[in-house]
Amino acid sequence: MTERSDLSGQFIKVYSPEPHVVVVQLARNPVNAFHEPFWVEYGHVFDKIGQDPTVRVVVLASTLPKVFSAGIDFTALGALQTFDKDPARRALQTRSFTMAFQEAIGATERCVYPVIAAVHGVALGLSIDIIAACDVRYAADDTRFSIKEVDVGLAADIGTLARLPKLAGNQSLVHELAYTARDFSASEAERMGLVSRVVSGGRDGVLKIALETAHIIALKSPIAVLGTKRTLQHARDHTVQENLEYVATWNSAMLQSSDLTVALKAAKAKQLAIFEPLGKSIAKL
């Protein structure tokens, strides 16, 4: 295991358990409640990871044994009290504040590499915003979820209501959970489509399974995986025909990669393919 102090911060700890895999850990005691410095750092960490050509896959977890995140630290909303007293100006400032928050939490979606969320224990409010922006979501069987925002007098505005309806197969249940703020279990989250696997063993158990998946992804062509993530994201927000045209254009460049030849030669020889690093720096795609 290699500590990645170049990527870590005050509230986020990053390490690499093997080549091309990094684990991003939420690490703000006592319950990983997000205040502004925490969410700003979260966004910056994932933006830096997205430009690191040695990375191929990311696992998001928590350092706390019984808590993924309790959601937002409501003392952080005290900043709203400093905004202008004029209603129009105050509204513009509030909108800017909210959009900066959204941008930070959406950093996992922006990251060019797949992000696997390994969730356990308490996962309330903002936790749903966070994991809904991840590519793969696993939960320990002790996870307790809640879309908590209506209980504090607001509609969830950092990503849950934008992304969850596109992830879940049961729209009635999405509405029920968003309107009632009731707790729901990992098994219910799996049935809904929020998570794809439920595993035993708490934090350590779900992290182990996430790392096994990350290991498999890290062995694949980084060009192919990066293109797959980008194409899946495009497909979510466009028609089938638009996405077919998009991937045809994308692959008109990416099929020129040496990774295709490397993969075919390795398959023919029944050997593990060894792919070159992506390059010096990866720009935002």
Detail the DSSP E strand segments found in the chain.
2-3, 12-18, 21-26, 57-62, 67-69, 115-119, 122-124, 136-140, 144-146, 184-185, 197-199
Indicate if 205 and 231 belong to the same structural domain. Answer: no
Q: In the structure encoding, which two tokens stand for residue 254, read together?
A: 């990416």
Q: What is the CATH number of the domain that holds 158?
A: 3.90.226.10
At residue 71, what is the residue type?
G
Write the CA distances from 195 to 10, 29, 87, 93, 143, integer angstroms.
29, 25, 40, 35, 11
Is beta strand 115-119 parallel, antiparallel or unpaired with respect to 57-62? parallel
Residue 65: strand, helix, or coil: coil
Q: Spell out, as residue ranges, where the chain has pLDDT lower than 50.
A: none
Residue 281 lies in a domain: no
Quick one: pLDDT at residue 278?
A: 87
For 131-176, the pLDDT digits (tens) are 999 999 999 999 999 999 999 899 999 999 999 999 998 999 999 9
Quick one: pLDDT at residue 223?
A: 95
Number of domains in the chain: 2
**In 3D, which of 131, 129, 145, 12 has the Cα closest to residue 67?**
145
Residue 279 lies in a domain: no
Quick one: pLDDT at residue 78?
A: 72
Quick one: pLDDT at residue 82?
A: 85
Which of 159, 189, 218 corresponds to the end of one domain? 218
Indicate if 116 and 176 belong to the same structural domain. Answer: yes
Indicate if 161 and 261 belong to the same structural domain. Answer: no
Residue 276 lies in a domain: no
Indicate if 26 and 114 belong to the same structural domain. Answer: yes
**What is the domain range of residue 211?**
2-218
- Complete DSSP assignment for 70-99: --B-GGGGGGGGGS-SSHHHHHHHHHHHHH
Residue 278 lies in a domain: no
Indicate if 174 and 230 belong to the same structural domain. Answer: no
Indicate if 210 and 252 belong to the same structural domain. Answer: no
Residue 275 lies in a domain: no
- Sorted by sequence, the CB contacts under 8 Å of residue 200 that are 6+ apart come out as 140, 141
Residue 12: strand, helix, or coil: strand
The per-residue b/e assignment along 183-197, b for 16 or more CB within 10 angstroms, e otherwise, is ebebebbbbbbbbeb
Indicate if 167 and 195 belong to the same structural domain. Answer: yes
Indicate if 85 and 116 belong to the same structural domain. Answer: yes
Residue 130 lies in a domain: yes
Indicate if 72 and 203 belong to the same structural domain. Answer: yes
CB 258 within 8 A of CB 205: no
Residue 87 lies in a domain: yes
Instruction: Give the span between the Cα atoms of 54 and 19, in whole angstroms.
Output: 8
